[in-house]
Structure 1
Amino acid sequence: MKLGLSTYAYFWQLSEKAPKPMSLFAAIDDSARLGATVFQICDYPQITGWSSSELARLAQHAARMGITLELGTKGVMPAHLQRYLAIAGELDCALLRTMINSPDHRPTLSEAQRSVESVLPAFENQGVAICLETYEQVPTDDNIALVKAINSGLVGICLDPANCVASLESPMDVVAKTAPYVLNWHVKDFAFSRRDGWVGFTLAGAKLGEGLLRYDEIYQQIEPQTRGINQIIEHWLPWQGDGESSCRVEAEWTAHNMKYLLDKQTSNHSSTISRESHHVC
């Protein structure tokens, strides 16, 4: 199991709204500085235009920093998955997070199954897992049904229970249903707040430990340590009014959340040792 960050933890800093947009190289450097050992390049379509030499330079840089790379995209069209499989090979990635739907394609479950199965032998030969993320556009039961129908150890779930709130799925119900199939975990906290005049609510991000995410319960259910499930930090940080403020707060959240995960793993490791020692005695 590795702990790390996603491009979604650098959403504003990587964007054109930043006073000085950060590069992927700089984001990887910052991740390593904060103690991450994995970085997920997620929904960063620019990378499909990078040359082999540029991808090689990024892979070499990540390796020097002690960072394992993962990829993320949207959609299951065979040509699209094959393109990302090629990039995964260039970056030495063993995991591709995706979603059934893309902005211009919404397949049925049977169509999605045929698409994934058509490229699965190539993914299996390269040792790259396909992880379907839980989110509001596709019912969790459908994601699970697709994974079960394909029936491959390299096709599973990318768990993000916060996403499913928008379709009125309970986050902990999502965790319970998907637990046996989880291969990757997007860790982000979230909270509701009343809108002005107490008319409705806003669902937005929160620092880890300050919102509604039941981290310890999720950890116990999916057992990332024993199953080798990487934990990837993301944010839902609202725009803070200007680029400088948004980037500054985002950096604060990233540092806080990375420390939160590191502290949690230390605590979980100590608890495991304590239980084992008690059992031996």
Structure 2
Amino acid sequence: MKITTGLNPYGLTWYLGLQGAGTPRHNPNGVGLGGFIRLTQELGGKAIELWDGWLRDKSDAELASLRQRLDDLGWKRVISSGLQQGDMDMLIRVARALDARFIRVALTPILCGDRAAAGQRWHELVRSVHEKLEAAVPKLEAADVVLLIENHQDFTSRELVGLCEEYGPHVRIVFDMANTFPVAESPLDFTRVIAPYVRHCHVKDYRVHFEPDGFRLVRCPSGDGCVPHKEMFDILAKHNDEMVACIEIGALEARHVKLYTPEWWHGYAPKEAEALAACLLAAHKNRFAEGDDWRTPWERNADHELIEYELGQYRKSAANLKALGLM
């Protein structure tokens, strides 16, 4: 399988000026889209994921100029947004203007697999996902654009496959390779289920800190944590001749998955013990020792460390993936 690898912006939110935007705690000197393109060049990327907030107000001429720049670089490109708040007409317009075949969306704002915390709102969100996908598909078909739905710590592997099968070939999956743990699935099990439907990957990783009520997922360079990227790409290769992949580092806030509590399981189908055991076993690789400080600089209020922290993790990720032959 040919893998074309580049960068995703969401692990660079402080450096880019996205973290805390509009609040007192933000980086007023964020480098924005221009700086993101320069970093992708520096790290040798050949693909780029573009946040829709950078694009929605651009004129046709500005979009044409950006497309020419990306064409000159020879980069694959993916437009990134969310299904609940994104404007599908705008996203399709931007995708066509930039010659981007894929639009990536998170389906809901639920994190940490915590459907129970959302209460009745979880069921309302699921209904909304179906309504929005049904409305989007005719537009996607007319534009010949594919909507990529992400496993964004909310839906299980089989639920994502169900959405793809229900809404057809213009709805496929962007695979966040570290987001299997928040829904209590092991990376390899999740990959085996969704592999035929994956068209784009977020090459992300986590180190785990175990807690009395579950575990925390803490960002780290891709290749330094518990995600077996090489083995996952080997599975994907059985179903795909080529793949676009983007390095993504996790959020500046660790994700607390409280799956040792009965409440957390509300809203999930019953799970076999062997499958849960596979998830927990995978999470032990490169885990934090008891008593280690797992907090990021953001969580320690050490904002002065954040730029080097984010850039260092992306640079280490690129080096790790190059060593694995994945970039």
- Structure 2 residue aligned with 1:160, among 164, 167, 176? 176
CA distance in 2, matches of 1:117, 1:39: 28
- 1:95/1:30 Cα in 2 relative to 1: closer, same or farther (>3 Å)? same
Structure 1 window deviating more from structure 2 (138-147 vs 160-169): it is: 160-169
Q: Is the 8 A contact 1:32 1:66 kept in 2?
A: no
Structure 1 residues 84-123: aligned runs within 5 Å: 84-101=91-108, 112-123=129-140
Match in the other structure for 1:253: 313
- Structure 2 residue aligned with 1:149, among 166, 183, 190? 166
CA distance in 2, matches of 1:51, 1:106: 38
- 1:166/1:80 Cα in 2 relative to 1: closer, same or farther (>3 Å)? same
- Structure 2 residue aligned with 1:179, among 192, 195, 201? 195
Match in the other structure for 2:64: 56
SS in structure 2 opposite 1:193?
strand
- 1:99/1:107 Cα in 2 relative to 1: closer, same or farther (>3 Å)? farther
The unaligned stretches of length 5 or more in structure 1 are 268-281
CA distance in 2, matches of 1:58, 1:105: 38
Please say if 1:34 is aligned against 2:46: no
CA distance in 2, matches of 1:98, 1:266: 24
- 1:149/1:237 Cα in 2 relative to 1: closer, same or farther (>3 Å)? closer
Q: Is the 8 A contact 1:131 1:156 kept in 2?
A: yes
CA distance in 2, matches of 1:72, 1:28: 15
Please say if 1:206 is aligned against 2:220: yes
Q: Is the 8 A contact 1:40 1:69 kept in 2?
A: yes
Q: Give 1:261's aligned amino acid.
A: L
Structure 1 residues 186-197: aligned runs within 5 Å: 186-193=202-209
The ranges of structure 1 where at least 4 consecutive aligned residues each deviate by more than 4 angstroms after the TM superposition are: 102-111, 198-201
Q: Is the 8 A contact 1:32 1:67 kept in 2?
A: no
- Structure 2 residue aligned with 1:133, among 150, 155, 170? 150
- Structure 2 residue aligned with 1:232, among 227, 238, 246? 246
Q: Give 1:216's aligned amino acid.
A: K
TM-score, with structure 1 as normaliser? 0.81
Q: Compute the displacement of 1:46 (Å).
A: 4.5
CA distance in 1, matches of 2:66, 2:206: 32
Q: Give 1:66's aligned amino acid.
A: G
Please say if 1:264 is aligned against 2:324: yes
Structure 1 window deviating more from structure 2 (234-243 vs 210-219): it is: 234-243
Q: Give 2:77's aligned amino acid.
A: L
Q: Compute the displacement of 1:202 (Å).
A: 2.8
Match in the other structure for 2:237: 223
- Structure 2 residue aligned with 1:23, among 25, 32, 35? 32
How many residues are treated as equivalent by the alignment? 262
SS in structure 1 opposite 2:154?
coil
SS in structure 2 opposite 1:92?
coil
Q: Give 1:248's aligned amino acid.
A: E
Q: Is the 8 A contact 1:95 1:130 kept in 2?
A: yes
Q: Compute the displacement of 1:209 (Å).
A: 2.0
Q: Is the 8 A contact 2:203 2:247 kept in 1?
A: yes
Structure 1 window deviating more from structure 2 (90-99 vs 49-58): it is: 49-58
Q: Give 1:188's aligned amino acid.
A: K
Identity of aligned residues (%): 21
- 1:48/1:147 Cα in 2 relative to 1: closer, same or farther (>3 Å)? same
Q: Compute the displacement of 1:191 (Å).
A: 1.0
Q: Is the 8 A contact 1:3 1:261 kept in 2?
A: no
Q: Compute the displacement of 1:94 (Å).
A: 0.9
CA deviations 1:16-61 (Å, max 9, x no partner) are: 533621120221122012110110014x435323332332332233
Q: Is the 8 A contact 1:161 1:172 kept in 2?
A: no
- 1:7/1:145 Cα in 2 relative to 1: closer, same or farther (>3 Å)? same
CA distance in 2, matches of 1:49, 1:174: 37
TM-score, with structure 2 as normaliser? 0.70
Please say if 1:8 is aligned against 2:10: yes
Q: Is the 8 A contact 1:135 1:160 kept in 2?
A: yes
SS in structure 2 opposite 1:236?
coil
Q: Give 1:164's aligned amino acid.
A: T
How large is the Cα RMSD of the aligned pairs?
Answer: 3.0
SS in structure 2 opposite 1:250?
helix
